[in-house]
Protein backbone atom coordinates (compact mmCIF):
# COMPACT_ATOMS: atom_id res chain seq x y z
CA UNK A 1 0.00 0.00 0.00
CA UNK A 2 1.09 3.56 -0.59
CA UNK A 3 2.30 5.58 2.38
CA UNK A 4 -0.57 8.11 2.05
CA UNK A 5 -3.15 5.29 2.20
CA UNK A 6 -1.46 3.76 5.24
CA UNK A 7 -1.34 7.14 6.98
CA UNK A 8 -5.05 7.65 6.25
CA UNK A 9 -5.89 4.24 7.68
CA UNK A 10 -3.77 4.93 10.77
CA UNK A 11 -5.55 8.25 11.33
CA UNK A 12 -8.96 6.60 10.96
CA UNK A 13 -7.90 3.98 13.51
CA UNK A 14 -6.74 6.65 15.97
CA UNK A 15 -9.95 8.64 15.47
CA UNK A 16 -12.04 5.55 16.12
CA UNK A 17 -10.17 5.08 19.42
CA UNK A 18 -11.15 8.59 20.52
CA UNK A 19 -7.64 10.02 20.22
CA UNK A 20 -7.71 13.81 19.80
CA UNK A 21 -6.79 15.47 16.52
CA UNK A 22 -4.53 18.48 16.23
CA UNK A 23 -3.51 20.42 13.13
CA UNK A 24 -0.02 21.94 13.12
CA UNK A 25 1.13 24.92 11.06
CA UNK A 26 4.77 25.63 10.16
CA UNK A 27 5.69 29.28 9.66
CA UNK A 28 9.10 30.37 8.39
CA UNK A 29 11.26 32.25 10.89
CA UNK A 30 13.62 34.81 9.34
CA UNK A 31 14.70 35.08 5.72
CA UNK A 32 17.18 32.19 5.53
CA UNK A 33 14.61 29.44 4.99
CA UNK A 34 16.28 27.24 7.62
CA UNK A 35 13.91 27.53 10.58
CA UNK A 36 10.15 27.18 11.11
CA UNK A 37 7.92 27.71 14.12
CA UNK A 38 5.39 25.02 15.01
CA UNK A 39 1.99 26.15 16.27
CA UNK A 40 -1.43 24.58 16.54
CA UNK A 41 -4.46 26.25 14.94
CA UNK A 42 -5.10 28.13 18.19
CA UNK A 43 -1.64 29.70 18.04
CA UNK A 44 -0.09 27.68 20.85
CA UNK A 45 3.68 27.26 20.51
CA UNK A 46 4.66 23.63 19.92
CA UNK A 47 8.36 24.10 19.08
CA UNK A 48 10.54 24.62 16.01
CA UNK A 49 12.07 22.81 13.07
CA UNK A 50 15.62 23.73 12.03
CA UNK A 51 17.59 22.65 8.97
CA UNK A 52 21.10 21.80 10.12
CA UNK A 53 24.00 23.26 8.16
CA UNK A 54 26.42 20.36 8.46
CA UNK A 55 24.29 17.28 7.77
CA UNK A 56 21.33 18.58 5.71
CA UNK A 57 18.91 17.07 8.19
CA UNK A 58 15.86 18.66 9.77
CA UNK A 59 15.62 18.74 13.57
CA UNK A 60 12.33 19.02 15.44
CA UNK A 61 12.73 20.80 18.80
CA UNK A 62 9.38 20.36 20.56
CA UNK A 63 8.37 22.46 23.55
CA UNK A 64 8.73 20.26 26.65
CA UNK A 65 5.03 20.45 27.49
CA UNK A 66 3.71 20.12 23.92
CA UNK A 67 2.00 17.15 22.33
CA UNK A 68 5.02 16.79 20.03
CA UNK A 69 7.49 15.93 22.81
CA UNK A 70 7.51 12.25 21.82
CA UNK A 71 8.06 12.93 18.11
CA UNK A 72 11.20 11.57 16.43
CA UNK A 73 13.50 14.60 16.22
CA UNK A 74 15.81 14.02 13.21
CA UNK A 75 14.49 13.73 9.64
CA UNK A 76 16.06 13.67 6.17
CA UNK A 77 13.64 16.23 4.70
CA UNK A 78 11.12 18.84 5.76
CA UNK A 79 8.40 16.65 4.23
CA UNK A 80 9.45 13.70 6.42
CA UNK A 81 9.40 15.92 9.52
CA UNK A 82 5.94 17.23 8.63
CA UNK A 83 4.66 13.68 8.03
CA UNK A 84 5.95 12.56 11.43
CA UNK A 85 4.22 15.52 13.09
CA UNK A 86 0.92 14.85 11.27
CA UNK A 87 1.02 11.19 12.26
CA UNK A 88 1.70 11.95 15.91
CA UNK A 89 -0.87 14.76 16.06
CA UNK A 90 -3.51 12.69 14.28
CA UNK A 91 -4.17 15.70 12.05
CA UNK A 92 -2.70 17.83 9.30
CA UNK A 93 0.68 19.51 9.22
CA UNK A 94 0.83 22.38 6.74
CA UNK A 95 3.36 25.00 5.68
CA UNK A 96 2.37 28.67 5.81
CA UNK A 97 4.89 30.36 3.54
CA UNK A 98 3.09 33.70 3.23
CA UNK A 99 4.77 35.43 6.17
CA UNK A 100 8.49 35.52 5.35
CA UNK A 101 10.30 38.19 7.41
Q: Of 5-9, 21-25, 97-101, give the lowest mean pLDDT range.
A: 5-9
32-63 pLDDT per residue, tens = 889 999 999 999 999 999 999 887 899 999 99
Q: Is 25 helix (H, G, I), strand (E, B) or coil?
A: strand
Is residue 81 classed exposed, middle or buried when 0-12, 13-18 and 19+ CB atoms within 10 A define those classes? buried
pLDDT given for residue 33 in this prediction: 84
What lies within 8 Å, CB to CB, of 6 at 6+ separation is none
CA distance 89 to 20: 8
Question: Taking 80 as the threshold, does the pLDDT of residue 15 lie above it?
Answer: no
Amino acid sequence: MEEAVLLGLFQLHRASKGMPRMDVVLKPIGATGKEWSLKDRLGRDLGTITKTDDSNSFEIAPMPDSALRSCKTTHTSLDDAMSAIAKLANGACSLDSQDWD
